[in-house]
Amino acid sequence: MSDAPQDKVLKIQIEGPVAVLTMDRPDKRNAMNDRLLAALEAFFSAPPDGVKAVVLTGTAGHFCSGLDLSEHVAREAEGVLRHSRNWHAVMDKIQYSGLPVVSAIYGAAIGGGLELATATHVRIAEPTTIFQLPEGRRGIFVGGGATVRVGRILGPDRMTEMMLTGRKYGSEEGLVLGLCHYAVGEGEALPLALDLAGKIARNASLSNYIMIHAIARINDMSRSDGLFTESLAAALSQTSADAEEGLRAFLEKRPPEFR
């Protein structure tokens, strides 16, 4: 695994086609501040050449404990609006950069940390994981995209209850609810994330890109618009050079070699 230039709050390591991003604010349980948010934005705006999948994780036993309230800046309404919209832009960048992102989660995935996790495409949680939206208990409201991403996983009724009560979910409950896709044992999240990211990186880049962009957007569409968009996505993927290679490899009984 080779090291790439690193921001002090975000470690970036490259292993073949997989980039491993480690949020590195151990004394803050990897709480999100503007520098960490900017580092994530910078990576997903211009990923290193050759990277086809990403693993996102934390350090010192935690994924991300949300917004760093110790660096909270008193803002007027317009400032809060703009700050929230910047969070939305960065979360969209993570979800829609075109790179599949696998998150290895343990410890805190709280508030903004849960918003960040649900911007990733594959989520793996260890037994120490805590999924929580505690904003309501602090007299505030979510602003990093939870009403869309978490709300569409849980449904508005369950998310409302989660915020009203400050309820915590563990990895097994999160698996049932859809907050994570895999619930694994202690120390198993990162190895599984690396394994899955490696497999995903061997897919055709175009089909990965289309899956990331089309499926979430189709969910926002009417039935007829969604079906038409599905047909467009199928037409793009099935007429590509990678599709030809995939069919050829199947007939020749060998692994495909995509671009």
158 CB burial (10 A radius; 0-12, 13-18, 19+)? middle
Are 196 and 102 spatial neighbours (Cβ–Cβ below 8 Å)?
A: yes
Round to whole Å and give the CA distance between 95 and 116: 9
Identify the helix (H) or strand (E) that includes residue 22.
strand 18-23
What amino acid occupies position 89?
Answer: A
> Of 71, 115, 126, 188, which is the active-site residue?
115
Based on the residue annotation, tell me whether 135 is a catalytic residue of this protein. Answer: yes
- Catalytic residue (one of 15, 76, 135, 244): 135
115 counts as catalytic: yes
| Residue 174: closest CA among 112, 109, 219, 113 | 109
Query: Are 100 and 163 within 8 A, CB to CB?
Result: no
Active site residues: 115, 135
